[in-house]
Chains A and B, each alone.
Chain A
């Protein structure tokens, strides 16, 4: 029996690779196609990189969704970093590119099916995303 959930701590840049690895393995097991596997890995890469760059440390929690109605992967990124002052702003297209971040959070939102962000200044950020097998 393969694990139904998994948690990766993000502290070093190397941990980003570890998170991608877990994401891709779980996506493969769930039956995602090769393109979706790559999309999920890229989304996780982005989330992990944000933690590494801005919060210094945090974790990414993976959970398989396997019910009668739906099948997919839930990914939650949590950190206790400085938080995001203006969520509306970081979710705007083009905001991250000026800082050289690449896809940024709007990119993650596009790569995944569901995306919820919560953040509090001085307390940290929690991003919950999901992707379902079609």
Chain B
């Protein structure tokens, strides 16, 4: 159970590459790294989740706070390369309708 967080800062854009599992143990780590990025006005935060093998609802909590913070600070938040398993968690909780998500193979259900 480990999560690697790799951040590349470009001009007005931050790319966050995640690999591993997002659960109750690793979520605080992610929150600590992700939230400050969404607080920069005008910043575009792109979270690449291709190598996230598992995410539980604690992980979702982090993305919800990130979304709230990006709305408050006029930054953008986008999650890309979601696997079916990870997308399912966003889908069940209804968050796919209010978040900018891109699945790994864009087959509409």
A–B interface present (Cβ within 8 A): no
Residues of A within 8 A of B (CB): none
